[in-house]
């Protein structure tokens, strides 16, 4: 094996790009779960966002429109989930799983005419001065806009949950929906907004794969990223910055194992392929264990249906 054949700067630079889809999906699911809703349909919303974003960006030749379409399609799909679970009180786990299967099928249908078409070229930003710093420049400051948007979403989510009244109300709804209702808050409306935000973020994450990272459409191209995002939310103890750490860890390991394969490491490929999943979960388990408060941090009403008695 020849470790020197790996370009470490290039590897670190691709880390942020590789992590962005999971990061976006996970931060959306975090908001949804903090409001007390467990939406297992992340994978389905991601893949739907991926095809809608890809199709619109190809048709309009605009990546921005593509991302907007992806966010809207993710949110629209999540509203099916929202209607079923919040108004018809269907089981959240079963409905979420169904949403994933539905999304996979729907995306394959929409994507019929787009297989093999090449996507847009997305230019990376060039920030004066910052991008020219040696080593750090290429690693941190020469990416496309969505990478920075995703970090901004994490920061905004953190600040909203921690410092604003809207964030407090959202957490309160996830903590005790009966009490929130008794105080006069609109539990179902707040939850629907959280679900829509989760869907939009998952759509953006999927579109980042098909529009920027790959960029083309193949069926099932999210390949379980939605499930990793779901696991990330739990192991990150529902904290936004830990999601960022977890997502970057996972993205970094994925890139590293590909490079190691290319460098000819004498380990069966299967072990390398599974390593990012294993190591990410291991690290996050260690991070969330040992602190007794971690268990407390789970939203108390997670996955429970709310029905006002009046």
Positions in the binding site for another protein (CB under 8 A): 165, 168-169, 171-172, 175-176, 178-180, 182-185, 292, 295-297, 299-300, 310
Instruction: For the CB of residue 233, give the shortest distance to another protein in the complex, in Å.
Output: 16
Instruction: For the CB of residue 282, give the shortest distance to another protein in the complex, in Å.
Output: 24
Number of other CB atoms surrounding residue 210 within 10 Å: 32
Residue 115 pairs with which residues in a beta bridge? 217
Nearer to another protein, 183 or 263 (CB): 183
What would the two tokens of residue 53 be? 């974003």
- d(C-alpha 200, C-alpha 73), whole Å: 7
Instruction: For the CB of residue 307, give the shortest distance to another protein in the complex, in Å.
Output: 14
Instruction: For the CB of residue 264, give the shortest distance to another protein in the complex, in Å.
Output: 50
- d(C-alpha 168, C-alpha 46), whole Å: 28
Q: Tell which residue, 284, 23, 45, has the closest CA to residue 151.
A: 23
Nearer to another protein, 266 or 293 (CB): 293
Nearer to another protein, 262 or 295 (CB): 295
DSSP of 97-131, one letter per residue?
Answer: HHHHHHHHHHHHHHGGGGBT-B-PPPPPP--TTGG
Nearer to another protein, 117 or 168 (CB): 168
Residues for the chain: how many in total? 310
Nearer to another protein, 7 or 297 (CB): 297
Instruction: For the CB of residue 173, give the shortest distance to another protein in the complex, in Å.
Output: 9
Find out whether 163 and 287 touch, Cβ atoms under 8 Å: no
């Amino acid at each position: 094996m020849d470790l020197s054949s790996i370009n470490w700067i290039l590897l670190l630079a691709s880390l942020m790009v590789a992590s962005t889809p999971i990061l976006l999906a996970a931060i959306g699911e975090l908001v949804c779960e903090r409001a007390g809703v467990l939406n297992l349909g992340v994978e389905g919303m991601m893949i739907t966002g991926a095809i809608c974003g890809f199709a619109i960006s190809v048709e309009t030749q605009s990546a921005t429109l593509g991302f907007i379409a992806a966010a809207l399609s993710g949110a629209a799909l999540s509203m099916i989930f929202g209607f079923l679970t919040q108004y018809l009180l269907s089981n959240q786990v079963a409905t979420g799983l169904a949403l994933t299967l539905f999304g996979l099928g729907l995306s394959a249908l929409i994507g019929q005419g787009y297989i093999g078409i090449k996507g847009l070229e997305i230019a990376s930003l060039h920030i004066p001065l910052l991008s020219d710093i040696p080593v750090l420049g290429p690693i941190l400051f020469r990416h496309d806009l969505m990478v920075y948007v995703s970090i901004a979403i994490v920061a905004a989510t953190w600040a909203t949950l921690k410092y604003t009244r809207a964030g407090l109300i959202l957490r309160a709804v996830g903590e005790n929906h009966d009490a929130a209702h008794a105080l006069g808050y609109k539990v179902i409306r707040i939850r629907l907004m959280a679900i829509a935000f989760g869907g939009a973020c998952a759509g953006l994450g999927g579109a980042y794969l098909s529009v920027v990272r790959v960029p083309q459409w193949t069926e099932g191209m999210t390949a379980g990223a939605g499930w990793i995002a779901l696991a990330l939310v739990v192991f990150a103890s529902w904290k936004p910055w830990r999601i960022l750490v977890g997502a970057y860890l996972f993205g970094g390991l994925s890139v590293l194992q590909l490079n190691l394969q290319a460098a000819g490491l004498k380990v069966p490929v299967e072990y390398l392929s599974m390593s990012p999943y294993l190591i990410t979960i291991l690290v996050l388990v260690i991070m969330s264990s040992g602190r007794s408060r971690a268990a407390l941090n789970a939203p108390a009403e997670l996955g429970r249906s709310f029905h006002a008695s009046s």
